[in-house]
Structure 1
Amino acid sequence: MRTLVDIPDEDIEKLDALAARSKRSRAAAIREAIRLYLLNTSGNDWIARGAGYWKHRDDIGDAVEYQRAMREDRSFD
């Protein structure tokens, strides 16, 4: 697919320099940038944002201790 995008001149200069250093075309550099952007902004990023969210709370107790207590109370009739 082809698309038209307005990019500031200073960014084009940097993009061209980057493309030249890596010996690829401007279009290839843009495709790679889009691919990396999509990989980094989709999927499971909510996991990373939420990891450790409650780690400083002392009012909810330890989850592992809670699970062990629940398992000990379980009866097998």
Structure 2
Amino acid sequence: MRILTDIPDEDIEKLDALAARSKRSRAAAIRDAVKLYLVHTADNQDWIARGAGLWKHRTDIGDAVEYQRAMREDRRPYEDI
């Protein structure tokens, strides 16, 4: 389907630069942008469900429960305060 829409010149310049960097057409970049917008807004409003478990495989942030216990006992290193 073809549509006609007005896009500000400054956005067109940015869009063209993005399309050129990825070696795609302006139309392909617009299609991807619309698809991304629809995925993030239309049917996917439950941001809590999307983010749940997102960091579960991270090992560099420590255990949140242990951190809370340390805060309660005030045994955190001073650089964390």
TM norm structure 1: 0.58
Deviation at 1:31, TM superposition (A): 0.0
CA RMSD across the alignment: 1.9
Q: Secondary structure at the match of 2:46?
A: helix
Superposed CA offset, 1:25-47 (max 9, x none): 00000000000000000224135
Structure 1 segments of 4 or more deviating over 3 A? none
Q: Percent identity?
A: 71
- What CA distance in whole angstroms lies between the structure 1 residues aligned with 2:7 and 2:15? 10
In structure 2, runs of 5+ residues without a counterpart are: 50-81
Question: Bigger radius of gyration, 1 or 2?
Answer: 1
Q: Which runs of 5+ in 1 are unaligned?
A: 50-77
Q: Could you tell me the TM-score, scaled by structure 2's length?
A: 0.56
